Amino acid sequence: MMTGRYVEFPNQEGLPLRGILHCPDKETEHRVCVLLLSPGIKGRVGPHRLYLKLANRLVSRGFHVLRFDYSGLGDSAGEISERMLVDVYTSIQTGRNVGDTIAAMDWMQRTHGIKRFIGSGLCGGSISALLAAETDSRIESLLGIGLPTVLEGGPENWARILTQQQLVSLRGAYLRKLANPRSWLRFLAGKSDIRSIWRVMKNWAFRTSRPRKAPNESTPKAEVDNTNPRFAGAFLAILRSRRPVLLVFSGADRLHAQFRENFEAHQAVALASLRNLYEVHVVRDANHVLSDPAWLSELLQVAEQWLDVRYQTRPSVAP
């Protein structure tokens, strides 16, 4: 395991941000820094020390790796004013941490002379990298892990953000539960997710009862479009500037389906000439944080192959 060193630098408001910088051997370095941006409200270590495991492999391939706490989180200064967690998530998905990300690049360029960056991170980290890359070309590629496309609403809004894939899957599950007495007891006790059940069954009844549309009729818009209003513009801007993107999704969460339904389907025309600039890989059955060693191993293998092609990297030590 390669060690890192503690670093501290100011953000754009002058607040000290604190983190860890991992540096490769001089013989193998590429003068490129991977920004492992903190996921959501979690700190620079990541769930199950994910960022340490990623940093170890990336440094062995000659990359600098910087992981730090955003202002108001972990060891960094500042406060979070939002009282509800869903409001914090929304602020992250609409650019809360872009300024701190740019400050990190400014510091790396000023102190280490590094001007080239790969934006990366899990979930909130990846959307922060995407939004920073929209306005800062020093982020020359994006390695997104579980990149969120929509503005979540928290558990209380689960019913309205289900994707069509989830609707189909849940419909079958609910129908099977009709024969289970325990499911009825749970329903009568008020422990079931009534809004999800209602939307699933309402959608099913509507789709099976409505008359078949003529082939030339346009497809109606989604009942609720909670796509992040900043997502499409930022993603397309990166592709149009010919910066490559690798997206790795977990098969057991809904983020890949949301990416397809809320972005790719909506932007099919714009993506027609850009599709070869981004790659999508789904780790089958993996949970959101890729906690199983086999899922993590697949993520690392896919990421390393992608980096090898673009940066001609080779491991300096056995993984």
pLDDT in tens, 52-98: 999 999 999 999 999 999 999 888 998 888 888 888 888 899 999 99
Residue 318 has pLDDT above 50, yes or no: no
What would the two tokens of residue 167 be?
């609707």
DSSP strands (E only) in 42-115: 64-68
If one compares 204 and 14, the residue with the highest pLDDT of the two is 14
The β-bridge partners of 20 are: 6, 67
Nearest to 193 by CA among 226, 162, 168: 162
What are the structural domain ranges in the chain?
A: 5-153+227-311, 155-209
Please say if the pLDDT value at position 17 is more than 70: yes
Distance of alpha carbon 89 from alpha carbon 102, whole angstroms: 19
Per-residue model confidence (pLDDT) at position 206: 52
The answer to whether the beta carbons of residues 148 and 228 sit under 8 Å apart is: yes
* Third-level CATH fold of 5-153+227-311: Rossmann fold (3.40.50)
Distance of alpha carbon 176 from alpha carbon 306, whole angstroms: 42
- Number of other CB atoms surrounding residue 27 within 10 Å: 7
Confidence bin at 167 (pLDDT 50/70/90): low
Q: Which among 63, 33, 67 is positioned nearest to 49, based on CA atoms?
A: 67
Q: Per the structure block, which two tokens stand in for 69?
A: 């706490």
Q: Quote the CA–CA distance of 74 and 40 in Å, as a whole number.
A: 12
Contact 316, 28 (CB under 8 A): yes
Q: Which residues contact 224 (CB under 8 A, 6 or more apart)?
A: 160, 161
Query: Residue-wise over 47-81: b if at least 16 C-beta within 10 A, else e?
Result: beebbbbbbbbbbbbbbbbbbbbbbbbbebbbeee
Q: What's the pLDDT band for 40 if we cut at 50, 70, 90? A: confident
